[in-house]
Structure 1
Amino acid sequence: MFHPVPDLAMPANSQPSSLQEMLERMETAGNGNAQQVSVNELMNAVGYRSFGPLLLLIALIAISPLGGIPGVPTLFALCTIAIAGQLLVNQKHLWLPGFVLRRSVEQDKLAAFLDRLRPVARRIDAIARPRLVQLIRGPGLKIAALCCILVALTVPPLEVVPFAAAISWLAIGAFGLAVILQDGVIALVALIISLGGVLTAVNGVL
């Protein structure tokens, strides 16, 4: 059964304005003392109506320790399809299955994972800026959502090949990042990576 992702901590339209802020929100998700952080808490932290942050969040979860559990990458691929599909039909509230929202990762492992990402985040934030924004607004945003759906479809067949699905998650995460930073150049890079993910999936199946 699908449930709306609740927003308990911040305004519905609040979303991170940089990759570093995104990581900071993920680190402070939960009550601070919990040993586990749920997907619901992470999504609440980044803003449940924020298409870009949610896409990036799912991609980060998929390559985190939680993504190493068999079946989880495919599960989050379905979540990507659900979120992108809801954008295509102009859904205002994003809905996800309750059993997905209850999934959790250990706080210590999450913190260590985020620490590894911080140097990359600083570099990306330093070079990214609003440009070619038409690629990630209006019709361009829906094209990006459709690309994410197509790329997410490559994840299940790639899950049996170690690390192969990482290309697909990199593409999906890049699309999410492009929306957050309003950087159409990153969207173009994401499109190129998407083609690589699709080719990898085709070669893996054949």
Structure 2
Amino acid sequence: MSDPANLQQVLDRIVRTTTEQPWVRLGTIMDTVGSRSFGPVLVIVGVLLMSPISGIPGVPTLSGLLILFVSAQMLVLGPGYWLPGWMMNRTLPAEKLHRGIRFLLPAARFIDARLHPRLVPVVRGPGSYLISAVCVVIAAFMPLMEVIPFSASAAGFALAVFGLAMISLDGLLALLGLVFTFTVAGLIVINFL
């Protein structure tokens, strides 16, 4: 199976793979998008964190662990990743997952129509390591976002933007994601000082 080329393909694959199941294993979702593609993983986690499913206790922390595992391995080992069995066996309610995906499909179509390859070195080669490093930092703060319901949505937005940029090879989108991430981080630091 080839890597998905846009957000709608990622979402469609997840829905096709998880229909008629009351609970969806994280491993099933990861197998759907492949274990060598970092972009779809970021999109999936970002979408989950922007959906109502992020309000389920443990989802932000699990998402942070997933991104930490994957992005750290990308920094050290390059393409491809491995996740422990206990993480791959975690489940999510399929109904909430599908509801979140249905909510996002119109936006996915709108977004996909505007993305295309540009500034490719930002998302390939050395640029991908910068994105991975930023994702490691975001992931490290995800457990702290557990205490405030839905606060992980901003992190989810940044992760989804990075994932979309990597899928579509859109370096401009990745740069906008970096600006967003550093702006939010700066605002948080300023509010705590």
TM-score by length of 1: 0.85
CA distance in 1, matches of 2:28, 2:36: 14
Q: Give the fraction of aligned pairs with identical amino acids, expressed as a percent.
A: 38
Greater RCO, CA 8 A, separation 6+: 2
Task: Kindly report which structure 2 residues correspond to 1:30-41, keeping only aligned pairs within 5 A, or say none.
Answer: 30=18, 32-41=19-28
**Structure 2: distance between partners of 1:38 and 1:188:** 32
Structure 1: any 5+ residue segments left out of the alignment? 1-9
Residue 129 of structure 1: how far off its partner (Å): 0.6
Counterpart pick for 1:163 among 141, 147, 150: 150
Tell me what 2:41 maps to: 54
Decide whether aligned partners of structure 1 residues 109 and 133 sit closer, same or farther in structure 2, where only a CA change above 3 A counts: same
1:47-196 equivalences under 5 Å are: 47-196=34-183
Whole-Å Cα distance in 1 between the matches of residues 190 and 36 of structure 2? 36
| 1:3-14 → structure 2 map (5 Å cutoff) | 10=1, 14=2
Local SS of the residue matching 1:89: helix
TM-score after normalising by structure 2: 0.90
CA distance in 1, matches of 2:93, 2:59: 15
Where in structure 2 are there 5+ consecutive unaligned residues? Answer: none
Name the structure where helix makes up a greater proportion of residues. 2
2:121 partner amino acid: Q
- Equivalents in 2 of 1:33, 1:159: separation in Å? 30
Q: Is the 8 A contact 2:50 2:152 kept in 1?
A: no
Which residue identity is paired with 1:69? I
Further displaced range: 36-45 or 96-105: 96-105
CA shift for structure 1 position 154: 2.6
Change in CA separation of 1:151 and 1:128 when aligned onto 2, cut-off 3 Å = same
The alpha-carbon distance between structure 1 residues 106 and 38, as it changes in their structure 2 partners (threshold 3 A), is same
Change (3 A) 1:197 1:29: farther
Partner of 2:7: 19
